[in-house]
């Protein structure tokens, strides 16, 4: 059984572990750039009812997390949020990303968003299938904007509109 809940301060080391393992298996960032405990503590501190950091637990183990962050810093964009998902490699393919996105679907009015935006590497076919399977559409392509170990990568902007 999987449980979705808000993250807590005690989760910070596990959040970092999930992030690092996900990056090692999914080329999320250039290997020269590292995220450490202080950055994850900042993420936890910034989380709120409006911008939650959610986790999935299985038998007391934190195995995945999802964050909702402001899409853009101007008030006109307050109803749009950026979604990020990270899942431990051994739990990928078990429907956790789908469970997160369905949870957000059920709670979008409570959280207060009308649009979700996700940025994905164009070569990340698994994440692309997950998001498009949950009714996200490609809203843009940023050619060669990212670099992973010296290789230029296109980033896709995916989005979904939620009715109020």
State how far the Cα of 145 lies from the Cα of 83, in Å rounded to an integer: 19
Residue stretches of the chain with pLDDT short of 70: 23-33, 164
Q: What is the pLDDT of residue 25?
A: 47
Q: Under DSSP, is residue 1 helix (H, G, I), strand (E, B) or coil?
A: coil
Res 148: pLDDT: 76
What residues does each domain of the chain span?
2-114
Global pTM reads 0.88
Pick the CATH number of 2-114 from 3.40.630.30, 3.30.300.340, 3.40.50.850, 3.40.50.970: 3.40.630.30
52, 90, 126 from 159: Cα distances, Å: 18, 27, 16
Residue 24 has a pLDDT of: 56
Question: Over 22-41, what HEC string results?
Answer: HHHHHCCCCCCCCCCHHHHH
């Amino acid at each position: 059984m999987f449980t979705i809940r808000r993250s807590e301060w005690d989760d910070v080391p596990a959040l970092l572990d999930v992030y690092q393992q996900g990056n090692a298996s999914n080329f999320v960032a250039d290997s020269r750039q590292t995220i450490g405990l202080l950055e994850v503590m900042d993420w936890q501190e910034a989380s709120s009812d409006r911008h939650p950091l959610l986790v999935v637990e299985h038998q007391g183990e934190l195995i995945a997390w999802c964050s909702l962050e402001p899409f853009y810093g101007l008030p006109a964009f307050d109803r749009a949020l950026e979604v990020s998902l990270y899942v431990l490699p051994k739990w990928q393919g078990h429907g956790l990303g789908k469970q997160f996105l369905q949870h957000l679907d059920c709670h979008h009015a409570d959280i207060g968003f009308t649009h979700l935006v996700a940025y994905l590497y164009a070569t990340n076919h698994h994440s692309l299938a997950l998001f498009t399977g949950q009714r996200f559409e490609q809203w843009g392509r940023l050619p060669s904007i990212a670099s992973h170990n010296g290789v230029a990568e296109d980033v896709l902007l995916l989005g979904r509109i939620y009715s109020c």
